[in-house]
Structure 1
Amino acid sequence: MNDTQKSVLNSLQQQPTHNTTTELAAALGLSRSVTSHYLNQLAAVHKVHKSGGRPVRWSLPEATAPQPDQADPFAYFIGAKGSLHKAIKQCAAAVMYPPNGLGVIITGNSGVGKSYLAQTIVDYARYKGTIAADAPYVVLNCADYANNPELLSSLLFGYVRGAYTGAEKDKEGLLHQADGGYLFLDEIHRLSSENQEKLFSFIDSGFYYRMGDNQTAIHSDVHLLCATTEDPQKVLLTTFRRRSPFA
């Protein structure tokens, strides 16, 4: 199998629902006639199946068809080809942005699917291999602790013994738990300005400090996802917003 045949086959694997000759040619950047030529070659050796209708549609034999967990998660996201096309492209670009990706701030009213989009972003990162298949995905709703910013800070960054009354032993925070994966902070607008600043410092440097210890910097490779029902321009600090695209 030559390189062009492999490219044609790979394109069909990546977009199994856009499988006419014209659609595959557009995806590959080849002419329709050239694409048809290679598809017919692959069909002759039973690498692809050719439908008998019009327009002709191509598919993989059942044994080689990608399983759902092997396919692009965004391909099945409602609106990915329509109203959410731009947002999905931004999310995909954020995952792949060199060298380690970008965080994403997801905006929208309650119930529109912000948490589902966050999960899909993580699935896409696993699909693309930017994080390990078993990388952690940790979720925190900031609204649950909005009235206690110190407790929220201790949850995020961890603390050392004696950091506050009741801190009887060292404890790691969510930034440690999510190391190598994603941390999703829902209702991010409920995060205090001080905690936003601390989180920005972590985004900027990759290091953070546990409560009660300003001397020992801890490194963590965490990708941040945030969601809010509010206008980010009004509720998030400029330093925090500028590091994350909106979706």
Structure 2
Amino acid sequence: MTALTDGLADGWIIARRNVIRTRRAPDVLLLTLLQPIMFVLLFAYVFGGSIKVPGVNYREYLMAGIFVQTVAFGSSMTGAGLAADLQTGVMDRFRSMPMSRAALLLGRTTSDLLGNLVTVLAMALCGLLVGWRTHTGLGQVAAGLGLLLLFAYAMSWISATIGLTVRSPEVAQTAGFLLLFPLTFVSNVFVAGDTLPSGLRPVADWNPISTVTLALRDLWGNAPAGPARGAGVPAEHPALVSLAWIAVILAVFLPLAVDRFRRAARR
């Protein structure tokens, strides 16, 4: 129990260190906020008029997808940050200190989760300004936010695995984008899944980004009607499928990231 407590305490110290670094480089946070806001404004005002989704206003349909896209892409910062620490030798300095080895990964993923929370809150304000509204109770809205942050945390462990596998932050960030771009665009983030070619529809329905997005739409009262929801189990139980995806991602990539960390520390 003491080892677990010490690991959590050390992890929080590393998380604070990363948060302080971000505060000292506000331009990074500003650029991180600008990208999702730009997506909201572009799709709401430029493309939104030509995209119709049955049963829901497109701006309300859009926001859940933008939230999920943003935290997914934001997770790439985890891998880039770990790769930078390895490259600059900071990781070796931490390893020489009397601290839990797990704290380095725990602190990095926790600080990035806090960064995602700030981004989500800023996006929510932007969404309200362009006409997004929730139509459910406070409990369901909070449950949607919790699911979103849990998904963001799981995605950070994928990014951590990538960052500890490659040898530079630039490669880590590029590799993350190469993974996330097809996941984001072969999904229901911007358009309904039934508008995709028939061969891509099952992929879009089972895509974890799609299931989390649909779960948020249900929890916030922004879900489409009819075939636009998708088909099969993911369309009928998106929240359960999303939780299953999160559990699988953590079960696979958390131990894999720890193993990669041990290997990277011996380079």
TM-score normalised to the size of structure 2?
0.26
Instruction: Give the TM-score, by structure 1 length.
Output: 0.28
Pick the structure with more strand per residue: 1
Structure with bigger gyration radius: 1
